[in-house]
Amino acid sequence: MTTTAAEPPKQSFHLGQLIYDTRYRSLTIQIVALVLLMLFFSWLVSNTVQNLATLGKDFDFSYLGQRAGYDINQRLIDYSSESTHARAALVGILNTLLVAFMGCVAATIIGVIAGVLRLSSNWIVSRLMTVYVEGFRNVPLLLWIIAIFALMTEGTPQPRDFREGGTASMLLFDSVAISNRGVYVPAPVWGPGSLALGIVFVLSIVGIWAWRRYAHARQERTGEILPVFAVSLALLLVPSVLAYFVLGAPIGLDYPELGGFNFAGGLHLRNSLIALWLALSLYTGAFIAEIVRGGILAVSRGQTEAAFALGLRPRRTMNLVILPQALRVIIPPLISQYLNLTKNSSLAIAVGYMDVRSTLGGISINQTGRELEGMLLLGGFYLLLSLVISSAMNFYNSRVKLKER
Amino acid sequence: MSDTHAQTVAFVRESMVPPADPPLGETGIFKWVRENLFSSWLNVLLSVLSIAFVVWALAHLLPWFLQSVWDAGSLTECREIRDARYGEGAASACFAVITERWNQLLFGFYPPEHYWRPVLAFVLFLVAVSPVLFQGLPRRLLAFTAIYPFIGYWLLWGGTIWGPLLVIAGFVIGWGAFRLAEPRLGTLAAAIAAILLPLAWWFFAVGPIAGDLAQIAPIGLVRIGSGDFGGFMLAFIIGVAGIALSFPLGILLALGRQSHLFIINKSCVGFIEIIRGVPLIVWLFTASLLLNYFLPPGTNFDLMLRVIIMVTLFAAAYMAEVIRGGLAALPRGQYEAADALGLDYWKAMRLIILPQALKISIPGIVNTFIGLFKDTTLVVFIGLLDPIGLSNAIRASTEWNGIYWELFVFIGLLFWICCFSMSRYSMYLERKLETGHR
């Protein structure tokens, strides 16, 4: 009987190893995923090409240079119906940025006040803030926009009611008129010498910055504390006010006045802008209030007590101990709320505010029939905007992150 | 000490003096008001301002609410009733619009003789969702939860019963294929079979077989197209479908984003960032304008289904970020412990990592759900009749032209109730899962 010696296991490669051998498995999975992804995208692209060919369309951005042919009632730069689609898109982009910026500022102010007041020991104030926060957070933003727009158009007096003996009157010493055509506020008139005034103002801001730096450095060196806040305030106001009178009041105000059937002069803020702005800031403010509240609660009580034990006064405790720690918790979600607000400004469609979605992604598409190009550009704009904002956030995060280990 | 003391004092009182009442300012309502409303000058100011605001708001709103008209056929009729009852031009809400258009606000243009179907679907939905929400209920109910999507679809859209049944049969086929193939061919082949066989069944067999069965035994409900859906029913269907579908997708995306596999990781990051970077409204317009470009020529499918897909993808990207936060918050030791126990990736995730990570991210997950539910109102812009779209339609009719606040209050209140109860539920869940250590 002959026995054959067992052959030594061959070190050869067999297909099963691609799946069962952990050395190769991740590679296999990735290659399969890559192939599937590429198949999917090529399927999409080939469908699109085929569909475009069937419809007799091409993929071409040159329509941006053509005459737009529609009017935009709300604009920050010169625009007429003779301008190009690209110009219309730019007007829309600026409008989006305008309402987003105004909204972020107002929402931050509302949110910080509401968040701090919600923690107040005052029973009725904290209850009111709870009602505000829960009320705004749990109802769709779109409903708020429409409701505030209806309030602005239905609940406000007509311009003719502002006449002598009418039912309505202007606010703030006859300077602001809230009517159903919009809000009229005094407009600044830049006279000769306003440039010099602007330069003085910028210089005083530079001065404040330098003073703060100096005060900080001096405190680090000697321990002596200089009056930063009072001096900053004085630097901000005194030179500008002096220059204003020395230059002979170069900046005047153009008050809105009732002429005929409507107001003339002043700055006309349309109801669509006001309603969108108010709704966005009140809605986002409710979210920011919760973030601020969470941030303040996240700093443990021991920190305050420790600061008091070190002999810091309450305001210095707030500025040097509590705020730096609370801000680290508050800022990242705050920025993502800003991002949400910017994206939510696309709800301008509900009130007819001409933002980038209505120009580039709306009327331009309807007029040229270029859905694919228009939506791609629109999506690209929003994507770019949010990438810029979120990379700024990441930069800030990495700066204030706790350095451990 | 005590001895000397006892000797020096001549008289020691034997009975206790009864405690005096605290000063009036230190008890009851006085103390509460002083401490909670008027503890400092700033608080006095704030309290006075707040009370003034509350009084002002109530003075304007209460008459409007209390002197409301609930039975009228049109706004002019409403005004006449008001003038007769409360005097000319009194502040008065006309909630008659809600009573008259109640069915429309709830069901849109769903045929009235079939209202029992969405109502039954809603009741069954409550039954199906209760074992998921509350652990105390019998676990056997989960089986009903699993088949509820098919029942709900069949009740709402109608058609023959064979379609949903054959789709369920596909899952049974997959399960059977796995059980049969696993001992003979190994896990991998069985898994592939369990995926491919049902897919083949759904794509090639279900259509013809369902057609034949419907010919032989036409059991079913009247078919109702998505175009007739509207009102809160629409918001609810889109919201619930989006929530149910986006949760598992969000978990997968979050795991993909945490993965070490380069291509998986990068494609998940790209998907999440692109979806999150663009407003939902742009995605909805994409779904309604562009989807026809991306699909094979001639395909055309339901607008509502497209919306559900878009809302799901949108919410899944946000969900993925929330869950990623939970995954990142887990201590590394948990991952290492799972590896040390010899668990493979899926087991480790399922048994150790995800239960803890999901628990951490409950508030964020529920916030995403609430956001998704609120975002269902955006479908009005692509022509679906959600509550806000219906309110516009109601206002466009001659009877109710010029009515705003009553509709807004009603719609807002319904959304508020849904969203607020979701947020309360998340707080309850957090408390229940609290283990005392993180």
Mapped onto helix, strand or coil, the DSSP state of residue A361 is helix
CA dist B343 and B352 (Å) reads 10
Answer yes or no: do A124 and B286 touch at CB < 8 A: no
CB B362 within 8 A of CB B378: no
Return the pLDDT at A1. Answer: 47
Residue whose token pair is 């094979």:
B296
Answer yes or no: do A139 and B412 touch at CB < 8 A: yes
Residue whose token pair is 């859209």:
B157
CA dist A145 and A157 (Å) reads 20
* CA distances in angstroms from A173 to A59, A184, A186, A258, B387, listed in the order given: 57, 13, 11, 15, 42
Nearest chain B residue to A349 by CA distance is B381
Distance from CA of A132 to the nearest CA of B (A): 12
Residue whose token pair is 């998986």:
B264
CB B160 within 8 A of CB B220: yes
How many helical (H) and strand (E) elements, i.e. helices and strands, does chain A have?
A: 15, 7
Which two structure tokens, joined as six digits, stand for A228? 């930063």
What stretches of B330-404 show up as alpha helix (H) in DSSP? Answer: 332-340, 345-348, 354-360, 362-375, 387-396
Domains of chain B, earliest start first: 26-66 (no CATH), 68-100 (no CATH), 225-438 (1.10.3720.10)
| Segment holding A184, helix H or strand E | strand A182-185
Answer yes or no: do B282 and A50 touch at CB < 8 A: no
CA dist A275 and B426 (Å) reads 32
Distance from CA of A340 to the nearest CA of B (A): 8
Q: Which residues of chain B have pLDDT under 50?
A: 1, 438
In this complex, the residue of B279, B370, B411 whose CB is nearest that of residue A344 is: B279
- Percentages of chain A per state (helix, strand, coil), in multiples of 5: 70, 5, 25
Which residues does chain B have within 8 Å of residue A149's beta carbon, measured at their own beta carbons?
A: none
Question: A 122-141 residues with CB below 8 A of B?
Answer: 122-125, 128, 134-135, 137-141
Answer yes or no: do A379 and B278 touch at CB < 8 A: yes
Answer yes or no: do A139 and B36 touch at CB < 8 A: no
CB B88 within 8 A of CB B79: no
Which residues does chain A have within 8 Å of residue B374's beta carbon, measured at their own beta carbons?
A: 138-141
Which two structure tokens, joined as six digits, stand for A139? 């109802």
All residues at 6 or more sequence positions from A15 whose CB lies less than 8 Å from its CB, including other chains: none
The dihedral built from the CA positions of residue A315, A317, A319 and A323, taken in this order, carries a sign that is: negative
Better-predicted residue by pLDDT, B199 or A72 = B199
Most B-contacting residue of A138, A358, A382 (CB-CB within 10 A), to test interface: A138
In this complex, the residue of B263, B273, B388 whose CB is nearest that of residue A142 is: B388
Query: Between the CA atoms of B81, B84, B87 and B90, what dihedral angle is there, to the nearest 10 degrees?
Result: 0
Answer yes or no: do B282 and A375 touch at CB < 8 A: yes
CA dist A378 and A356 (Å) reads 7
In chain B, the largest separation of any two C-alpha atoms, in whole Å, equals 114
CA dist B88 and B80 (Å) reads 9
Query: In the 8-state DSSP scheme, what is residue B127?
Result: H
pLDDT average, residue stretch A108-112: 93
CB A372 within 8 A of CB A170: no
B298: left (phi over 0), alpha (psi -120 to 50) or beta: left
Residue of A297, A333, A319, A328 whose CA lies nearest to A115? A297
Cα B303–B304–B309 angle (5° rounding)? 95
Averaged pLDDT of chain A: 83
* CA distances in angstroms from A327 to A308, A322, B366, listed in the order given: 20, 8, 25
Residue A4 pLDDT greater than 60, yes or no: no
Residue A405 pLDDT greater than 50, yes or no: no
Residue A21 pLDDT greater than 80, yes or no: no
Residue of A285, A340, A291, A334 whose CA lies nearest to A135? A285
In this complex, the residue of A343, A375, A385 whose CB is nearest that of residue B285 is: A375
Most A-contacting residue of B48, B263, B280, B332 (CB-CB within 10 A), to test interface: B263
CB A334 within 8 A of CB A343: no
The per-residue DSSP string of A19-50 comes to HH-HHHHHHHHHHHHHHHHHHHHHHHHHHHHH
Residue whose token pair is 């708020």:
A144
Distance from CA of B245 to the nearest CA of A (A): 21
The per-residue DSSP string of B203-266 comes to IIIHHHHHHHHHHHS--EE----GGG--HHHHHHHHHHHHHHHHHHHHHHHHHHHH-S-HHHHH
* CA distances in angstroms from B249 to B171, B316, B320, listed in the order given: 19, 6, 8
CA dist B126 and B143 (Å) reads 14
Tell me the CB-side half-sphere exposure of residue A286, using CA atoms within 13 A.
20
Cα A147–A149–A153 angle (5° rounding)? 120
Return the pLDDT at A140. Answer: 92
CA dist A97 and A100 (Å) reads 5
Query: In the 8-state DSSP scheme, what is residue A84?
Result: B
Q: Are strands A267-269 and B159-160 parallel, antiparallel or unpaired?
A: unpaired
Residues in a beta bridge with A183: A178, A269
Which residues does chain B have within 8 Å of residue A279's beta carbon, measured at their own beta carbons?
A: none
CB A291 within 8 A of CB A309: no
Which residues does chain A have within 8 Å of residue B239's beta carbon, measured at their own beta carbons?
A: none
Tens digits of residue pLDDT in A232-291 = 888 888 888 888 888 777 777 777 777 666 777 677 788 888 899 999 999 999 999 999
Return the pLDDT at B253. Answer: 92
Nearest chain B residue to A147 by CA distance is B408
- Tell how far CA A161 is from the center of its chain: 36
A402: left (phi over 0), alpha (psi -120 to 50) or beta: beta
Cα A32–A37–A40 angle (5° rounding)? 125
Distance from CA of B327 to the nearest CA of A (A): 18
All residues at 6 or more sequence positions from B268 whose CB lies less than 8 Å from its CB, including other chains: B253, B256, B257, B259, B320
Tens digits of residue pLDDT in B334-354 = 889 998 998 888 888 889 888
CA dist B85 and B77 (Å) reads 12
CB A111 within 8 A of CB A285: yes
Residue A84 pLDDT greater than 70, yes or no: yes
The per-residue DSSP string of B140-165 comes to THHHHHHHHHHHHHHHHH-EESHHHH
CATH entry 1.10.3720.10 includes domain A85-186+255-400: yes
CA dist A374 and A357 (Å) reads 9
Which two structure tokens, joined as six digits, stand for A257? 């006045």
Which residues does chain A have within 8 Å of residue B47's beta carbon, measured at their own beta carbons?
A: 122, 124-125
Residue whose token pair is 């300077």:
A175
Tell me the CB-side half-sphere exposure of residue B409, using CA atoms within 13 A.
12
Task: For residue B158, give the amino acid letter.
Answer: G
* CA distances in angstroms from B373 to A11, B105, B315, B324, B367, listed in the order given: 58, 17, 10, 22, 10
Distance from CA of B48 to the nearest CA of A (A): 10
Answer yes or no: do A372 and B292 touch at CB < 8 A: no
In this complex, the residue of B281, B411, B420 whose CB is nearest that of residue A143 is: B411
CA dist A32 and A30 (Å) reads 5
Which two structure tokens, joined as six digits, stand for B292? 């026809």
Distance from CA of B33 to the nearest CA of A (A): 9
ipTM: 0.85
In this complex, the residue of B36, B46, B290 whose CB is nearest that of residue A372 is: B290
CB B311 within 8 A of CB B240: no
In chain A, the largest separation of any two C-alpha atoms, in whole Å, equals 127
CB B235 within 8 A of CB B387: yes
> Percentage of residues in chain A with pLDDT exceeding 90?
20
Question: A 43-72 residues with CB below 8 A of B?
Answer: 44, 47-48, 50-52, 54
pLDDT average, residue stretch A193-218: 87
All residues at 6 or more sequence positions from A296 whose CB lies less than 8 Å from its CB, including other chains: A115, A116, A119, A322, A326
Other C-beta atoms lying within 10 Å of the C-beta of residue B204? 10
How many beta-carbon pairs under 8 angstroms link A with B? 148
CA dist B243 and B157 (Å) reads 20
Return the pLDDT at B436. Answer: 65
| Segment holding B271, helix H or strand E | helix B262-277
Distance from CA of A67 to the nearest CA of B (A): 23
